[in-house]
């Protein structure tokens, strides 16, 4: 699977479109082609407060859902530090 397609899949872009393709490519490049890291960053962006109010109708905030997805691809940050 191509990295861009995998990123779209991890970010649920088919079900909930949010990013333009060039934005996803930018995130991939910024993450050094690391799909998991790019997905993590994109999902954090999607997690911004999404509560919508129109004429008394309120749509629920879905940020917790996106944060859970981001946690599933979050880089661990663990590594071996070389001594001097």
- Name the residue ranges covered by the structural domains of the chain: 3-73
Over range 56-76, report the average pLDDT: 88
Per DSSP, the residues of the chain read --HHHHHHHHTTTTTS--S-HHHHHHHHHHTTT-HHHHHHHHHHHHTS---EEETTEEEPP-HHHHHHHHHHH------PPPP-
pLDDT of 78 reads 63
The model's pLDDT over 8-53, given as tens digits with 9 standing for 90+, comes to 999 999 999 999 999 999 999 999 999 999 999 999 999 987 777 7
Which pLDDT band holds residue 84 (cuts at 50, 70, 90)? low
pLDDT of 50 reads 73
Q: Give pTM, 2 decimals.
A: 0.78
Give the C-alpha separation, 32 to 34, whole Å.
Answer: 5
């Amino acid at each position: 699977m191509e990295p861009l397609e995998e990123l779209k899949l991890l970010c649920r872009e088919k079900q909930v479109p949010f990013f333009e393709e060039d934005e996803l490519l930018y995130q991939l490049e910024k993450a050094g082609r690391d799909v998991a890291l790019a997905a993590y960053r994109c999902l954090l962006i999607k997690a911004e407060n999404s509560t919508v109010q129109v004429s008394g109708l309120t749509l629920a905030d879905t940020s917790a859902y996106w944060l859970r997805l981001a946690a599933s691809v979050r880089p661990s940050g663990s590594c071996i530090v070389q001594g001097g």
